[in-house]
Amino acid sequence: MPRLERDITIVNKLGLHARAATKMAILASEFKASVTLIQGDKQAPASSVLGLLMLESGMGKTMRIVAEGEDAEQAMDALCNLVKARFDEDC
């Protein structure tokens, strides 16, 4: 099974707050791949809103996204695009 890793920087003003974490978790749940976000010594499954909030990731922080499974590449691209699009927020 493929394993992909990519670092990405949070660019939206509010960081990985409740609405952004919910969007990410819903998107991650659409894929069969197992996706984990790592920031410093903390990590969380991308499909867990509470886990994502526990990362306390703010604007300018870099996270590593690790995706494993048959559609890992599609999951990685989708989640990275969501972060780059500032979670579809105006700020």
Residues that are catalytic = 17
Q: Give the separation between CA 87 and CA 84, rounded to whole angstroms.
A: 7
Count CB atoms within 10 A of the CB of residue 19. Answer: 13
Spatial contact of 13 and 26, defined as CB atoms under 8 Å apart: no
Give every CB contact of residue 20 below 8 A, 6+ residues apart in sequence: 12, 14, 87, 89
One-letter amino acid at 35 equals: V
